[in-house]
Homo-oligomer: A and B are copies of this chain.
Amino acid sequence: MNFTLKVLGTASALPIIDRYPSAQVLDVRGRLFLIDCGEGVQVQMRRMGISFLKVEAIFISHIHGDHVFGIFGLLSTMAMLGRTGKLEIFAPRAFGPVLKFFMSYFGEGISYEIEHHPLLMKEPEQIFECKNLQVSAFPLNHKIDCFGFLFRETEPQLNVKKLEIAARGLGLAEIATAKRGEDIVREDGSVIPNEAVTYKPYEPRSYAYCSDTAPFPELASWVKGVDLLYHEATYPQEMVDKAALRFHSTAIQAAECAREAGVKKLIIGHYSSKYPDLSLFLNEARTVFPETELTQDRDVIDIPLKKL
């Protein structure tokens, strides 16, 4: 029942030693979702013991090299390892020619289907759904088309309280009715309100990924209340003008978004290579939003199940 983020890279455009370009894997109960795909993603996945073949879908925020140059090697490796299952890639329209180039010149051995779903939305929109998870995408404010992603567990089925089953003598059909969230109408015509006999077994967990972006008003409402927010923080506050010029954020701006959105925890990354020491980023962000942590390459961040 895990919901775990594995951070593969935290560099911005210029990778440095032990800071690879952007890539993360979200592990939702053993199903793996790759978010961005910077150069070196394969080696980082190997180091973290992440299976290439278990990656069900790839979500690419935008088509700048530091978010996508790892895709070529990864797609090739998946083929060499014998992947047969379809791979879905959610990425901006500009990924189309990138994939076409790859398939034309390096696609000979690609034994599995790759489907590119172009991201075109102007506001949050669901793009993917599987058993326990829904993913939506929303536009960010970058130099080129760029999208954030929100991963949210689906609402769990209701549990029926054992004590109530016994006390009220509920039958199987009545229990099924309660699990569907409906009130129970008994044979004698009396009604048991659903909430009297059921409870939600756990709160669905959520993770939002926002890279790369300058601040903009709508973002906080789009990631409202998530358990974990990753927001890029390319620069400390002394570079706020440069951040604006390059459509990036400072650590403080990331923290302002987290505070406004009321998220449980903020993590930052995508640091400028000019700053080997990241304490400035962390200290600045915490002045605005204390529940901030840095990400570093190969961090593992678990969101535990909150039983109710």
Contact = CB atoms under 8 A, between A and B. Distances in A.
Identical chains in the assembly: 2
A94 interface: yes
Interface string A216-257: 000000000000000000000000000000000000000000
B73 A16 contact: no
Given A65-B76, A69-B76, A97-B104, 16 more contacts: A14-B77, A15-B43, A15-B73, A17-B43, A17-B46, A20-B43, A21-B73, A39-B39, A39-B40, A39-B70, A65-B73, A65-B106, A66-B73, A66-B76, A69-B72, A98-B105
A91 to B, nearest CB: 13
A275 interface: no
Nearest to A73: B39
Interface string A50-88: 000000000000011110011011001100110000000
B105 A13 contact: no
Interface of A: 13-17, 20-21, 39-40, 42-43, 46-47, 63-66, 69-70, 72-73, 76-77, 80-81, 94, 97-98, 101, 104-106
Nearest to A11: B43
A105 B17 contact: no
A46 B105 CA distance: 29
Contact of A72 (B65, B94, B97): B65
Nearest to A64: B106
Nearest to A77: B14
A15 B16 CA distance: 20
A42 to B, nearest CB: 6
Contacts of A42: 15, 39
B80 A73 contact: no
7 contacts: A15-B42, A15-B73, A39-B39, A39-B72, A65-B72, A65-B76, A94-B105
A174 to B, nearest CB: 56
Nearest to A101: B101
Contacts of A106: 64-65
A97 B107 CA distance: 14
Given A63-B105, A105-B98, A17 B47 contact: yes
